[in-house]
Amino acid sequence: MRYLPHTPEDITQMLEATGARSLEDFFAVIPPECRRERPMVLPEALTEWELDAHIDRFAGRMAAGPDAKVFLGAGSYEHFIPAAVGFVTSRSEFVTSYTPYQPEMSQGTLQAVFEYQSLAARLLGMEVANASMYDGASALAEALLMAARVTRRSAVALSRAVHPLYRRVVRTYLEPTGIQVREVPFRPDGATDRSAIGRTDDLAAVAVQSPNFFGCIEDLQAFSDAAHGAGALSIAAFSEPLAFGILKNPGRLGADIACGEGQSLGIPRSFGGPGLGMFASKMQYVRSMPGRLVGETLDLEGRRGYVLTLATREQHIRREKATSNICTNNSLCALTAAAYMASLGGTGMRELAQLNLDRAEYLKAQLRAAGVSLPFSAPTFNEFVAAFPAGFEETYRRLLARKIVAGLPLEPYYPELAGRYLLCVTETLSKADMDTLVREVQS
């Protein structure tokens, strides 16, 4: 086997040095009642070439790649990834190193993550961002837990227009803690109904997502004001950070914590993971933050360098009193997001965000002209909800057979939104692609 370098002579010599007679000897400490009763039964080992063919079979049964036209967003977005981003982030030195516990030998990862923290904080308009979480949903769950720690309160208000799968993750995390989750309904225009927050005196946080699951842009400032008026933290979640290339960012709108999914920033969709949990807050809360942080310092000779810091919040020091159990995070994805943001630059990100918005507006206009109604009137970024005429299910299925996915049916997530679809367009779907979709919808 090509990954196992031992020759029979090596094994003999090494056994001799240890005093063991055979490899089996080392396992004599394992009592018979702990051993397998039979050898493992697994598929026969494949050669490298056979493996290529085997995985080809799986990859070939997916609607992905240039012939598929997928108008799906809903927390996972297709954006062009510059070749240079994939190239630098596939460097072995980044890919095959461990968490940078030994800073002198890990300055590459450490500086890159420090830069990620900086760019993430700038994009979100926040004072400090951590080194990453698993994904947007678990980041939101951790944000709510953090708010409960900071305020010592045990209820949270969570907009029903937050991604439904994020809300399910929140429920999983919060269920054993006794923290009460109160969902805030959305208005007929698709934005969260601030007047329906209800009781506020026991709230640890008010959490909304913007743009929300329906693509609608929320009035974050008003929610921040409501949170602060109640002594709660304002949490701004997001699933499409490209929006902040053109919209006001969460920090500007009073968020105490901004958290969400960073997959949009140069990370392939990869059937949903790995993505990038982004997590940022005001500096005053940094010691309650979950996750790793990289900080700047000096070496013995006074040269600038970077280390993991504020580790006293973390599980390997604090054990059960830690701010989170997170250990391995999504560091390489954070590095990718930083390389992507640096490739675009501020101007490029603004232009790209503008183009996403323009394409979505174009599709909205064309659909409207084709007689499709757009039930939510709140402004949107690159996705929106459409209500297709009766009988559209059949068209939808017909299009699937041609690898065209005409949006996400909302009924499974919101029973009251039967017949409504969430559509997304980014820079990867051209005017021609959108025109084809509109034509098909009409016919």
Partner 1 sequence: MTNSLGTTGLVLEEPLLWERGRRGRSGFSLPRRDVPRCEVPKELAGATPDLPELSEVDMVRHYIRLSQWNFSVDAGMYPLGSCTMKYNPKTNERQCSRPGLASAHPLLPEELCQGALELIAALECCLAEITGLDAVSLQPGAGAHGELAGMLIFHAYHRHRGKPRSKIIVPDTAHGTNPASAALCGYTAVPVSSNADGILSPETVAAAMDEETAGIMVTNPNTIGLFEENIKAIADIVHAKGGLVYGDGANMNAVLGMVDMGRIGVDVLHLNLHKTFSTPHGGGGPGAGPVCVRKHLAPFLPVPRVVVRDGVFRWSEDFPLSIGKLQAFWGNMGVLIRAYSYILSLGADNLKRASQLAVLNANYIKAQLKGTFHLAYDRPCMHECVFSDKRQQAHKVSTLDIAKRLMDYGFHPPTIYFPLVVPGAIMIEPTETESKETIDLFIDAMKAIAAEARDNPEVLHQAPTRCKRRRLDETAAARKPCLRG
210-239 residues in contact with partner 1 (CB under 8 A) are: 217
Range 126-147 burial, b when 16+ CB lie within 10 A, else e = bebbbbbbbbbbbbbbbbbbbb
Determine the interface stretch with partner 1 among 26-34, 182-190, 199-207, 382-390 (rule: CB under 8 A). Answer: 26-34
- Footprint of partner 1 on 308-327 (CB under 8 A): 309-312, 314-322, 324-327
User: Is 180 a binder of partner 1 (CB under 8 A)?
Assistant: no
Determine the interface stretch with partner 1 among 92-100, 148-156, 184-192, 194-202 (rule: CB under 8 A). Answer: 92-100
Among 89, 209, 224, 382, binds partner 1 (CB under 8 A): 89
User: Is 4 a binder of partner 1 (CB under 8 A)?
Assistant: yes
Write the CA distances from 352 to 33, 283, 347, 385, integer angstroms: 62, 30, 9, 22
User: Is 369 a binder of partner 1 (CB under 8 A)?
Assistant: no
Quick one: which of 124, 96, 164 has its CA closest to 277? 124
User: Is 284 a binder of partner 1 (CB under 8 A)?
Assistant: no
Alpha-carbon span 235 to 167, nearest angstrom: 14
Tell me how far, at minimum, the Cβ of 293 lies from partner 1, in Å.
Answer: 6
User: Is 41 a binder of partner 1 (CB under 8 A)?
Assistant: yes
Pairing of strands 69-70, 383-387: unpaired
Per-residue x/- mask for partner 1, residues 138 to 157, rule CB under 8 A?
x------x------------
Alpha-carbon span 212 to 162, nearest angstrom: 6
Among 8, 201, 271, 394, binds partner 1 (CB under 8 A): 271
Alpha-carbon span 89 to 95, nearest angstrom: 7
Quick one: which of 419, 264, 443, 274 has its CA closest to 370? 443
User: Is 348 a binder of partner 1 (CB under 8 A)?
Assistant: yes
How many residues in the shown chain lie near partner 1 by CB under 8 A?
205
User: Is 183 a binder of partner 1 (CB under 8 A)?
Assistant: no
Tell me how far, at minimum, the Cβ of 200 lies from partner 1, in Å.
Answer: 25
Structure tokens at 34: 């702990």
Give Cα 440 distance to the centre of its chain.
Answer: 32
User: Is 374 a binder of partner 1 (CB under 8 A)?
Assistant: no
Tell me how far, at minimum, the Cβ of 376 lies from partner 1, in Å.
Answer: 15
Write the CA distances from 366 to 386, 417, 434, 435, integer angstroms: 12, 22, 9, 8
User: Is 414 a binder of partner 1 (CB under 8 A)?
Assistant: no
Residues 141 and 339 sit within 8 Å (Cβ to Cβ): no
Tell me how far, at minimum, the Cβ of 435 lies from partner 1, in Å.
Answer: 10
DSSP 8-state secondary structure symbol assigned to residue 192: B
Alpha-carbon span 431 to 363, nearest angstrom: 8
Among 104, 189, 393, 411, binds partner 1 (CB under 8 A): 104
User: Is 390 a binder of partner 1 (CB under 8 A)?
Assistant: no
Dihedral of CA 326/330/332/335: which sign? negative
Tell me how far, at minimum, the Cβ of 159 lies from partner 1, in Å.
Answer: 16
User: Is 301 a binder of partner 1 (CB under 8 A)?
Assistant: yes
Toward partner 1, which CB reaches closer, 160 or 248?
A: 248
Determine the interface stretch with partner 1 among 190-198, 270-278, 369-377, 385-393 (rule: CB under 8 A). Answer: 270-278
Residues 95 and 332 sit within 8 Å (Cβ to Cβ): yes
